[in-house]
Structure 1
Amino acid sequence: MVEGTIIVNDREDNHFITTSYYDSACRDIIANPLHHYLALTIERKLREKKKGYFLNIAECYWGRERVLTRTGVIPYNSALFKICEQIIHGTVDVREIYHLYDNYYPHALPAGTELLGILGNHDERRAVNTFGQRGLRAAAMLTSFMSNVIMDYEGSAEGEGWKVYLDNIHVNWNQFESAADRSISGFYKILYSFQREQKGKGYLIWTGNTMVAGAMKFTEGRIIIGAFNFSDSTQSVQLQFDNPVLPIDDCGYYRVADPMYSPVTGKYGHYTGSELRVSRLQTVVSYTDRVKILHLLRVENPEELSNEFLKESFIRLCSISDISHFKASYAFLEIASHSDTFEAFFTFLKERLFPLFRNENSHTLEFGLKRTLFHLVKNGIQPGEKILQYLDRLTQSGSDGFSEFGRRLKQHNRSGALVFISAEAEPFSKIGGLANVVYELPRELAELGEEVYVITPFYRHGDEKSVEKMRKAVKKYRVSYTGVNVRFKILDNEYSVGVHRGEVDGIHYFLLDHHESFDGLYWGYTAEEKLRRRIAFSRACAEVITTFGLFPLFTFTNDAYAGIFNGIVKGDHVYRENPNFARTSFIHILHNVGWQYFDAYDRYERGFDHFRLFNLPDYLARDFIDPVHWRRINCMAAGVRFADWVITVSPSYAEQIQIASDGLEHLLHHVKGINNAIGRDFLLRTQHQFKHMRFVERNYPLFLKKVEEDAGLKEKIKTRYPELLKGPRHCERVNDRIRKGILTRMRNKLLLQAQFNLTVDPDKVLFAMIHRIVEQKGFQLLLDASEGIFKHLGFQGVIGGPVPSGDQKGEELGRGLIQLRDFYPESVAVNIGFLNVATALLSSDVFLMPSMYEPGGISQLESFACGCLVVARATGGLRDTVHPLRIKGRFIEGNGFLFTDYSPESFYDAMARCAVFFTKTDERVIYRARRKAQDSVYFWDRSAREYIKEVYTLKEIIRII
C-alpha cells in the first residue's frame, strides 16, 4: 500500500478513487457490489486514520478501462501509451490521440473517470527504447498533462530491476539502477517536479499539425499550454483554443507568456477569453526539446494594459478569416462601443487608435479600420448610410491627417465595374438558359445602380434562326463597330478581333467579331479548333478590359467556355500586372457542371501538346488539368481553380456538387448557391409574344369546327363554358376575376389541343415538356412510363425542343418521342426543333421537369409565372423552388408535384397525384393554386440583391442597396 495526497475528485458520486489488485484481464466479475462495499469500507478506515489517500494499481488492456472504472478503480491509460508508440514508429499520427479523448473515452467511461498515466510497461522494452530519448520527452510530458496520477516502469519481464514513480512518490523495488538509463534521469527529475507542483486537469487542443499534439493544464496558480512534437524535425504549430470544454472565462483578460523568452524580450500576447477561443497562437516546437511550454496568465488589472490589448487585437483583426469571429474581437467591440456618434468615433480614433499605429504602420490601421467599419454594418451594429457619413465627415475634419485618412477609406469603399464573360447572351445569342441569366442578371444589377458590362462573341453564322436573332438584335440595339481591334497571339499567330459596342437595358455590351474564332456558337470539331476558339475568346476579353479601361471590381466567367479566362489573366504577367486588374476579384459561375466534359480535351494529340496554345508557362499546366483524368485539359476545372470564389445557380446544387460532380468535387469548397430567377416582366413579355403570334385568332375557327363535329364536346362547352362560344376574346371581358382566369386558361388549352390535332376535351389534363432533348431532362422517364401516363391516367402532352448536334443519346430520345406520337396520336404532339414555349405555358395545365439533375432551372419559374403547375424531380434548383402542393380547407401551399427517385415508377406516382388533383378538384381551387404558384416565383431583382450582397461582402465594401 502506498499513501499520498489525492489530486482530483470529480467522480459523480463524490467518493475517493480507490483500487484493489486484479488480474490483468480485468474480467467483468471484478465490478461487483462486494468490491464496491470493500472500497467504501477502506475509505471510511482511511478517514478514521486521517489518511488522505491510498492507491493500489490495477493493470488493464485497452478497451477494458470501462470495467475497472465502475467502482472507482484507476485503470492504466495504456491506450495513450500505445498510440504514442505508434506515432513514433510512423504508423499513425496525433489525430489518434484526439480520437481517443474526444470520441472513445467520453462514450466508454463514466464522467470524471481518472486514468493512470503510464510511461512504460514492465513486460516490454524500457520507455527510452520505445520512444527514443527525444521522443520520450513528447510522450511523457503529454501523459503528464493529461494525467493527475502518473507512473513509470522501467525494467525487463524477468523483473531483475524496475522502478515505479507513483504520482509524486518514488518506490524503489529491487535495484532499479541495474536496468536504468542514466541519460534521462535529468528529464525525469523535471517531469516529476512538474507533476508535483502543477496539479490540475488537462485538456487537448488542436495544433494544426499531425505530428504535434497540444494540451492545456488548468492548475490553481496558472494555466499551462503545451505542444508536444513527435517528429524528428522542428515543427510549426497553430494552437487552437476552440475546444468547447476548455474552462476559459470568455470575459477574462489573459496574457500569453513564453517562460523562457518573454522575460528577456518583453514580448507577450494579450487576449480576452472570447478572443482566445477563436485565435490561433503560432509557435515552433524544436526537434531537440520536443516540448514547448507557454503560460496563460490571468490579468487582474486590464485597464493598465488596455493599449496592449487594443493594439494586438487590432492587428489580429486584420487577418480574421472567419467573419463570425469579429464579434469576439476585443478591438472590434471597443470600436463598436464608440460608434454611436461621429464625435465618439472620432475621439476614439484620435486618442486611442491613431497613437498606436500612425507612426509605425499606417497601412495596418487603414486596412483594419476598413474591415471594422464594414463588419459594423454587416453585423447590424450600425447602418451603412451612417458609416459612410462618418467617412464624409472624416474627410472634412482637417485635423492632423485625418482628412487624407478618410479619403483613403472612402477609396477602399468605392464600387467598380462588373464584367460578365459568356459564350452566349440574350438578346444576341442563345442555346440554353445560360443566355437568359447573362442578360437578366446584369439587367437587374444595372437597375440597382451597378456599372455592368457583358462581353460575348458576334456570331455571323449558324442556323437560320440564330443568324436572324443576332441580326435583329444588332439592328434593334444599334450595336456598332467601335473602330478598335484588339490583338493577341496564340502560339506565333497574331489575331485581330473587331470590337462592337451597344447598350441594352442599361447593360454595356461588347461583341467580339472574328471570321474564324467566333464564326458560330460552340462551333469547332477537333480539340485544337475548340481550344483555339476558347483561348481567343478569353484573350480578347482581357484585351477589351485593358484597352477600354474597364477596371473591373468583379469579373463573372460562366461555365466551361469562359472558364480559362481566369487562368489566362492570372497566369500571363502582361494581364496580371495591368492596373485594370489590380482590384479585380474573379468569380466563376457554375451553371451546369455536367457540361464540363464538353470542354475537356486530351492534352496530347498526335504528338502535339495542346497546352502550348495557351502561351503560358509550363508549370501552370497542372492548374488547367482535369482533377481526375490528368491527361486532359478541363476548361471548367481551370475556371474553378483560378477563381477567387465560385457561385452556382441554387443552394441545393451547391451542396450537391461539393459531394459528387464527376471529379470536380475535389476542387469545390465553400460554393455559394444563389437561385436563378426570371425578370418581373416575363409574364408581360410572354403575353405580348402570345398576342403577337395571333394564336387565338388562328386557332379559334378550328376549335369551333371541332365543337360542331362532336356533340358530346359541344354539350360540355355549352354547359360549363358557354362564354367560349361567344367569340375568341369574349372570355377576356368577363367581370368576375376568377371566372375570367378560368375561362381564358381553358380557351387557350382547347385551342392548343385543336392546333396539334389532339382530342379536344376540357377534362383531359394537358402537360407541356419543352427542353433541349438530352438525357439530363428526363425524356427517358417519360418514354418508360408512357403507357401508364397516356393510357391509364389519360394525360395529353405537347413535347418538343432541339436535339444538340452530335448528341447520340439525344437523337435516340428524339426518335423515341416520334414513335410515342405515332402510338398515341390523339394524346401526344411532338415537335423536334424550335417550339414556342409561350403558347405552351399559357395553355397547359402542368409543365414537366423530371430531370436527372438540374443545377438551377429556369423553366419551372417561367411556368409558375404563367400560372402553370410543375411536376419535377427533387434535385438541384428544382428542390429549392418546387414545393409539394397541399390543400387544407381554404388554405393552399406549394406549387407542384415532386418525386425523388430517378425511376419510371416514381415519376408515374407524381403524375398520378397530379391527375387526381386536376380531375378531383374544383376549378376555383385550381385557379387559386395557379395564383399561389405565381406568387412563388423568384424574380431577378431578389437574386440580384443577393449577388450584390455576397460579392461586396467578399471584398468587404460597404454597398447600400
Structure 2
Amino acid sequence: MKVLFAASEAVPFIKTGGLADVIGSLPKELAKQGIDVRVIVPKYEDIPARFTQQMETVAEFQLQMGWRNLYCGIQKLEHEGIIYYFVDNESYFRRRGCYGYGDDAERFAFYCRAVLDAMQHIDFVPDIIHCHDWQAGMIPVLYRAHFSYQPYYAGIKTVMTVHNLKYQGLFGQEKFKDFFALGDEHFHGFALEMHGGASFLKGGLLYCDYITTVSPTYAEEIQTPYYGEHMDGLLRSQSHRLTGILNGIDYEEFDPMSDPYVEIKYRDSLVKKQQNKLKLQERLGLPVNKDVPLIALVTRLVDQKGLSLIDRVIKELLSLDAQWVILGTGEYRFEQLFKWAESQYPDKLSANILFDEELARQIYAASDLFLMPSLFEPCGIGQLIAMRYRSVPIVRETGGLQDTVQAYNEETGEGTGFSFTNYNAHDLLYTVERAVELYKNPESWSNLLANLKKKDFSWRKSAQQYASLYSKLVQ
C-alpha cells in the first residue's frame, strides 16, 4: 500500500499548529503497519538549514497553472525512515512563515497542482493521496477534473482530513478559474461555490473519496449549525463517508523519561514531578511551594481556546489557593489580560507571552493541572501531552477533549480529569475550584494519576484505523 500525505506543514521542518505534529508523527506509525507513506510539503524559507542542506533535487519541470508556465522543483529528504518531498518555487515559498499573504490562493493553487504533476517525476504513484486541510483541498478536484482519466494516474483514491473546519480557503471564483482552468460546471452550489466565492476545502470535501476529521465527537459536531461553520448541511449530506479518527501524539517525542528539556526525568514518580515544579517556580519567580497546585495554560491566546471565560472570572480564579503559569501568544486583549494579572498577582501568576518549546515542556512536567476550556477543539494535543506528563486536564466537553478526558468520579474512583459542559464562566470556575480541592486529598489525587497511567494516546490505535480505511478504499 502506497500513501502520499499532502499537507502545508510538518514537524520538524515547519510548524504553526497541531497539523504539523500530526504530519510529523502519524506516517511513522503507519510505516510500522507496513504502509509506504511519503509526505509532500512546500519548501518554505523558515525550514532550518540543517534540513535544507541535506535535501537532494529529484525533479525540475515546468508546471502549467492557467496561462502561467512556472518552474517547479521537487527536493527529497529521508527523516526518521520517512521520505519527505519539498515543493520548491522561490517566488511562492521563499518568505517568512506559511500563511497570511495576499496571494495565498495562488501559492496553494500552485502547491496542489505541483503535488499531482510531481508524481510522474518522482517515480511514486500512490494508491491513496491523503490531503490535509484547505491548503491541499484542491488536489481531489484537480485529480477528478484533469488527471483521473490519464493511464499513469488511474485508480488513485483521495482522502480529505479536516483538522479545523474554521479555515476553509475561501477566495474569489475568478481566481479559481484563472489558476485551475476549471469550467463553469465546477462553480455552482453543489461544487466549489461558497458565499459567492469558492472554497479549497469545500472542493476537497465534495470531490474526495472519503472524509475524516480528528476526533469522533468533532465529526458529529461539525454536522450541526453551532460548529458547522456554514458547512454543516454539506457534511450531513456526506455523513455516509465521514468518520472521526482521534489524533495521537508521538510517545517517543513526548516522554518525561527522555525529554531533553525536562531537568529531572520521571515517569510516575510524584516526588520527581514535584521537583520539576519547585525548579519552575524558582525560575519564574513564583513562591516555591510543592503543596500548592500549579495550573498551566499553554496555548494560542485566541478566543477559540476559551479565554473569554477566564477573562470573566479571572479575579475569582486568582483568589483560589493555586498558582498559574501562562505560555503563549495571540490576540492583544488576551496578552494584556495575563500581563495585567501578573502585575496584580505576582505571587499567583506568571505570564510568559512568547512561544518557547523548551519552556512548554518544562511547564507540562511541572504543572499539576492543565486547563483547556475551549469554545471548540477538533482534537487538541495539549491535553494528550499533559496526561503523558501526568498533569491532570481541566477541559470543556467539546470535540477531542470530550473523547480523551473522562470526568473524575469520587464515588467510583474512575476518570482522568475534570470537565464542564456549558460554555459558561462560572461552570469553569466551579470546575477549577473542584480540581484545586481534590488536589488536597492525597488518596484521590494518587488514584487520579494512576488512572492517567493506564491511558494510551499514542498513534498505534489510530494508525490501525487509517490503515483499515485505506484498505477498504483500494479494494
TM-score where L is the length of structure 2: 0.93
Verify: 1:492 aligned to 2:67, yes or no: yes
- Structure 1 residues 83-122: aligned runs within 5 Å: none
Which residue number in structure 2 is paired with residue 762 of structure 1? 290
User: Compared with structure 1, are the counterparts of its residues 423 and 683 closer, same or farther at alpha carbon in structure 2 (3 Å cutoff)?
Assistant: closer
Query: 1:612 & 1:472 partners in 2: Cα distance?
Result: 37
- Structure 1 residues 173-322: aligned runs within 5 Å: none
- Single out whichever of 937-946 and 866-875 deviates more from structure 2: 937-946
Verify: 1:881 aligned to 2:456, yes or no: no
Return the match for 1:611 from 171, 177, 182. 177
Report how many residues are paired.
Answer: 465
Name the aligned partner's letter for residue 777 of structure 1: K
1:636-657 CA-partner distances (Å, limit 9, x unpaired): 1111011111000111110111
Q: Are 2:286 and 2:348, in contact at CA under 8 Å, matched by a contact in 1?
A: yes
Which residue number in structure 2 is paired with residue 771 of structure 1? 299
SS of alignment partner, residue 555 of structure 1 = strand
Return the match for 1:653 from 205, 218, 231. 218
Q: Are 1:624 and 1:634, in contact at CA under 8 Å, matched by a contact in 2?
A: no
Which residue number in structure 2 is paired with residue 52 of structure 1? none
Name the aligned partner's letter for residue 937 of structure 1: D
Verify: 1:944 aligned to 2:471, yes or no: no
Verify: 1:666 aligned to 2:233, yes or no: yes
SS of alignment partner, residue 134 of structure 2 = coil
1:634-678 CA-partner distances (Å, limit 9, x unpaired): 111111011111000111110111123122112212210111111
Query: 1:655 & 1:610 partners in 2: Cα distance?
Result: 30
- Structure 1 residues 904-943: aligned runs within 5 Å: 904-919=425-440, 921-922=441-442, 925-943=444-462
Which residue number in structure 2 is paired with residue 857 of structure 1? 380
- Single out whichever of 426-435 and 947-956 deviates more from structure 2: 947-956
Which residue number in structure 1 is paired with residue 137 of structure 2? 563
- Residue 867 of structure 1 deviates from its aligned partner by 0.8
Higher relative contact order (CA 8 A, sep 6+): 2
User: Compared with structure 1, are the counterparts of its residues 686 and 823 closer, same or farther at alpha carbon in structure 2 (3 Å cutoff)?
Assistant: farther
Which residue number in structure 2 is paired with residue 786 of structure 1? 314
Which residue number in structure 1 is paired with residue 167 of structure 2? 595
SS of alignment partner, residue 135 of structure 2 = coil
- Residue 493 of structure 1 deviates from its aligned partner by 1.9
- Residue 435 of structure 1 deviates from its aligned partner by 0.4
Unaligned runs of 5+ in 2: none
Q: Are 2:44 and 2:98, in contact at CA under 8 Å, matched by a contact in 1?
A: no
Q: Are 1:419 and 1:556, in contact at CA under 8 Å, matched by a contact in 2?
A: yes
Return the match for 1:680 from 243, 251, 258. 251
- Residue 925 of structure 1 deviates from its aligned partner by 4.5
Query: 1:938 & 1:486 partners in 2: Cα distance?
Result: 42
User: Which aligned runs of 4 or more in structure 1 are off by greater than 4 angstroms?
Assistant: none
Name the aligned partner's letter for residue 927 of structure 1: S
Query: 1:519 & 1:934 partners in 2: Cα distance?
Result: 44
Return the match for 1:429 from 3, 10, 14. 14
Q: Are 1:428 and 1:473, in contact at CA under 8 Å, matched by a contact in 2?
A: yes
Verify: 1:838 aligned to 2:365, yes or no: no
Unaligned runs of 5+ in 1: 1-415, 461-466, 697-728, 804-809, 957-961
Return the match for 1:508 from 83, 96, 110. 83
Which residue number in structure 2 is paired with residue 316 of structure 1? none
Return the match for 2:187 from 621, 627, 631. 621
Which residue number in structure 2 is paired with residue 448 of structure 1? 33
Name the aligned partner's letter for residue 276 of structure 2: N
SS of alignment partner, residue 430 of structure 2 = helix
- Residue 557 of structure 1 deviates from its aligned partner by 0.6
Return the match for 2:198 from 616, 633, 648. 633
SS of alignment partner, residue 689 of structure 1 = coil
SS of alignment partner, residue 556 of structure 1 = strand
Which residue number in structure 2 is paired with residue 481 of structure 1? 57
SS of alignment partner, residue 812 of structure 1 = helix
- Residue 926 of structure 1 deviates from its aligned partner by 2.3
Query: 1:580 & 1:913 partners in 2: Cα distance?
Result: 61
Q: Are 1:682 and 1:865, in contact at CA under 8 Å, matched by a contact in 2?
A: no
Name the aligned partner's letter for residue 430 of structure 1: K
Q: Are 1:551 and 1:579, in contact at CA under 8 Å, matched by a contact in 2?
A: no
Which residue number in structure 2 is paired with residue 523 of structure 1? 99
Query: 1:524 & 1:652 partners in 2: Cα distance?
Result: 29
User: Compared with structure 1, are the counterparts of its residues 787 and 457 closer, same or farther at alpha carbon in structure 2 (3 Å cutoff)?
Assistant: same
Which residue number in structure 1 is paired with residue 50 of structure 2? 472
Q: Which has the larger radius of gyration?
A: 1
- Residue 784 of structure 1 deviates from its aligned partner by 1.4
Verify: 1:801 aligned to 2:328, yes or no: yes
- Residue 689 of structure 1 deviates from its aligned partner by 2.0
User: Compared with structure 1, are the counterparts of its residues 577 and 548 closer, same or farther at alpha carbon in structure 2 (3 Å cutoff)?
Assistant: farther
Q: Are 1:863 and 1:870, in contact at CA under 8 Å, matched by a contact in 2?
A: yes
- Residue 795 of structure 1 deviates from its aligned partner by 2.3
Name the aligned partner's letter for residue 872 of structure 1: V
Query: 1:934 & 1:494 partners in 2: Cα distance?
Result: 56
- Residue 624 of structure 1 deviates from its aligned partner by 5.4
- Residue 682 of structure 1 deviates from its aligned partner by 3.5
Verify: 1:953 aligned to 2:468, yes or no: no
Query: 1:639 & 1:492 partners in 2: Cα distance?
Result: 23
Query: 2:460 & 2:94 partners in 1: Cα distance?
Result: 34
TM-score where L is the length of structure 1: 0.47
Q: Are 1:550 and 1:580, in contact at CA under 8 Å, matched by a contact in 2?
A: no
User: Compared with structure 1, are the counterparts of its residues 771 and 624 closer, same or farther at alpha carbon in structure 2 (3 Å cutoff)?
Assistant: farther
Q: Are 2:112 and 2:139, in contact at CA under 8 Å, matched by a contact in 1?
A: yes
Which residue number in structure 2 is paired with residue 553 of structure 1? 127
Structure with higher helix content: 1
Q: Are 1:552 and 1:580, in contact at CA under 8 Å, matched by a contact in 2?
A: no
Name the aligned partner's letter for residue 665 of structure 1: D
Name the % identity: 27
Query: 1:885 & 1:456 partners in 2: Cα distance?
Result: 41
Name the aligned partner's letter for residue 582 of structure 1: A
Query: 2:152 & 2:342 partners in 1: Cα distance?
Result: 56
